[in-house]
């Protein structure tokens, strides 16, 4: 129903499967839409600052990316998820797989498992482990999520960590802890040999600044201020391919150990 040629920001996920994502991309092409997807974690202020530092060579060559979320997610705030066949990869970890892609490009392979909570049969999978494999690169990309950690705030975790040949950067995604109130975000850097972490100043948080960034980059592209649209449907359909590969890996259930 959108007028042909409209500029549009589509909420993530781009469908609930790769087939739906491709169908949406093709529809956008037929309508001539300038279409972006709101994969807004790319634009969170602490992510943007970390990206700037990494691009400037502050921690050398990145060889390890670790994203970990272990929190109590209040599912009652999201009634639309009840009864869905797919949840964690499409609604949560899509952000994290997209973020890894934005730093390292498309992976050569994906290994993953995602599981339900045994006492929450009306909610699809809520705990996941994902490995994105990059052939011929000494790069480990690991995403671990647990949205059922309801044992108090002391051991909750929500962070992204990049380790490189010259140092490391760690960003705390405070919003996801004690959601929706959240705790303060944080960004720190440790340079090789110093063995201590130094805070990095930045302004803003995931809400609303990441959304401002996501909409802003679309507006800047339409205005001709930037040459490429980084979150275009043509790009994010590749994120959905990673998501689909993660589900296929989970269904394959890994390789059985055998003694011959």
Selected residue with higher pLDDT from 25 and 81: 25
Six token digits for residue 249: 């890996």
Q: 10 Å Cβ neighbour count for 85?
A: 9
Six token digits for residue 192: 């090789």
List pLDDT tens digits, range 126-162: 999 999 999 999 999 999 999 999 999 999 999 999 9
Give the DSSP letter string of the chain. Answer: -PPTT-EEEEPSSSSSSHHHHHHHHHHHHHHT-EEEE--GGGG-HHHHHHHHHHHTTTT-SEEEEEEEEE-B--GGG-GGGTT-S--IIIIIIHHHHHHHHHHH-S-SEEEEEEE--TT-TTS---EEEEEEE-TTS--EEEEEEETB--S-STT-EEEEEEEETTEEEEEE-GGGTTTTT----EEEEEETTT-S-EE------IIIIIHHHHHHHHHHHHTTSSS--TTBHHHHHHHHHHHHHHHHHHHHT-------
Q: Using pLDDT thresholds of 50, 70 and 90, give the confidence band for residue 195.
A: confident
Q: Name the CATH topology of 39-206+235-252.
A: Dihydrodipicolinate Reductase; domain 2 (3.30.360)
List pLDDT tens digits, range 12-42: 999 999 999 999 999 999 999 999 999 999 9
Domain boundaries, the chain: 39-206+235-252
List pLDDT tens digits, range 242-252: 999 999 999 99
Q: Using pLDDT thresholds of 50, 70 and 90, give the confidence band for residue 260.
A: confident
Give the DSSP letter string of 75-132. Answer: GGG-GGGTT-S--IIIIIIHHHHHHHHHHH-S-SEEEEEEE--TT-TTS---EEEEEE
List pLDDT tens digits, range 156-173: 999 999 999 999 999 999
Q: 10 Å Cβ neighbour count for 193?
A: 7
**Distance (Å, rounded) from C-alpha 101 to C-alpha 235?**
10
List pLDDT tens digits, range 30-80: 999 999 999 999 999 999 999 999 999 999 999 999 999 999 999 889 998
Phi, psi of 133 (to 5 degrees): -100, 135
221, pLDDT greater than 90: yes
Give the chain's mean pLDDT: 96
Can you give the pLDDT at residue 44?
A: 98
Are the C-beta atoms of residues 182 and 172 closer than 8 Å to each other?
no
């Amino acid at each position: 129903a959108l007028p042909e040629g409209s500029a549009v920001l589509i909420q993530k996920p781009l469908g609930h499967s790769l087939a739906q994502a491709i169908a949406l991309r093709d529809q956008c092409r037929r309508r001539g839409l300038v279409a972006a997807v709101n994969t807004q974690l790319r634009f969170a202020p602490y992510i943007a600052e970390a990206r700037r530092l990494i691009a400037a060579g502050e921690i050398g060559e990145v060889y390890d990316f670790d994203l970990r979320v272990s929190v109590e997610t209040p599912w009652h705030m999201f009634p639309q998820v009840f009864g869905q066949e797919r949840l964690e990869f499409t609604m949560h970890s899509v952000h994290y797989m997209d973020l890894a892609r934005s730093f390292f490009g498309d992976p050569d392979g994906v290994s993953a498992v995602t599981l339900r909570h045994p006492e929450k049969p009306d909610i699809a999978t809520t705990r996941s482990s994902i490995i994105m494999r990059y052939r011929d690169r000494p790069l480990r990309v690991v995403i671990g999520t647990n949205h059922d950690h309801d044992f108090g705030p002391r051991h909750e975790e929500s962070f992204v960590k990049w380790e490189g040949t010259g140092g490391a950067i760690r960003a705390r995604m405070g919003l996801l802890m004690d959601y929706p109130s959240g705790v303060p975000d944080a960004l720190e850097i440790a340079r090789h040999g110093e063995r201590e972490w130094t805070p990095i100043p930045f302004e803003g948080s995931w809400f609303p600044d990441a959304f401002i960034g996501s909409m802003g980059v679309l507006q800047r592209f339409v205005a001709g201020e930037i040459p490429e649209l980084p979150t275009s449907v043509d790009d994010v359909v590749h994120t959905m391919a990673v998501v689909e590969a993660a589900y296929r890996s989970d269904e394959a259930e890994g390789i059985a150990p055998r003694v011959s």
